[in-house]
């Protein structure tokens, strides 16, 4: 674990040459260790960059401020997305991993900041796995993300993210020319085994050649 480069974070180099680096982004109240145990199931051999969110909400780490449930502080979101993107670029240079092979894996708040980086700082991420994500911001103009590959895995009965909001996110990301796969899970806002299975298949298909 390190506290340099602006974020407390964990970094683990890839064990397989040419493997991508997974940018792990936790949900509200999580930390840099939360998603690490999932990596062998997501993409064995991948590198890991896992920062802790720098915003505190009642003592719980997040990646950006919100004004209420589902109501985001858009000024802070823009700032934090840029801050995270700068961290990722700096970490790639510092640890000497391929900056063109970084794939975000985010849950809830982490998925929303990953979407924000895709929308506000195109080119930083090669793709993303978004668990329980919603539309964080609609940029004007919408950027081009040709070549980016995204998986959205949301729950049909999620009390926080409606099916309509999920479809709106998929439509927004597709409008950037990203290749977007949307899969539905039967559960709510919790991460499930089918989520991990879908993420593994997606990552193996799109980023698993190394």
Catalytic residue ranges = 108, 158, 189
Write the burial class of residue 188 (CB in 10 Å: 0-12 exposed, 13-18 middle, 19+ buried): middle
Instruction: Give CA–CA dist 88/175, Å, rounded.
Output: 24
Distances (CA, A) of 40 to 3, 21, 45, 100, 183: 25, 13, 7, 21, 21
93 token code pair: 């240079």
Q: Pairing between strand 102-107 and 21-25?
A: parallel
Residues 6 or more apart whose CB falls under 8 angstroms from that of 37 comprise none
What would the DSSP string read from start to end of 115-164?
A: HHHHHHSTTS-SEEEEES-------SSPPP-TT-EEEEEEETT-SSS-HH
Distances (CA, A) of 207 to 27, 35, 155, 179, 187: 24, 19, 24, 13, 27
């Amino acid at each position: 674990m390190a506290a340099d480069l602006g974020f407390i974070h964990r970094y683990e180099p890839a064990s397989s040459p040419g493997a991508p680096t997974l940018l792990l982004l936790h949900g509200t109240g999580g930390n840099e260790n939360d998603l690490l145990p999932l990596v062998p199931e997501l993409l064995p051999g991948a590198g890991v960059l896992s920062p802790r969110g720098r915003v505190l909400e009642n003592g719980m780490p997040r990646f950006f401020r919100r004004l209420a449930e589902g109501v985001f502080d858009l000024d802070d979101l823009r700032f934090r997305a840029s801050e995270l993107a700068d961290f990722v670029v700096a970490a790639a240079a510092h640890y000497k991993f391929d900056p063109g092979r970084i794939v975000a894996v985010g849950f809830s708040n982490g998925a929303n900041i990953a979407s924000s980086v895709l929308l506000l700082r195109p080119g930083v991420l090669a793709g993303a796995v978004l668990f329980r994500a919603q539309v964080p911001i609609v940029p004007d103009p919408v950027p081009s993300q040709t070549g980016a590959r995204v998986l959205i895995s949301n729950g049909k009965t999620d009390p926080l993210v409606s099916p309509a909001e999920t479809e709106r996110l998929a439509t927004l990301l597709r409008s950037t020319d990203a290749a977007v796969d949307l899969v539905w899970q039967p559960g709510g806002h919790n991460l499930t085994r089918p989520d991990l299975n879908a993420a593994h298949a997606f990552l193996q298909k799109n980023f698993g050649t190394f």
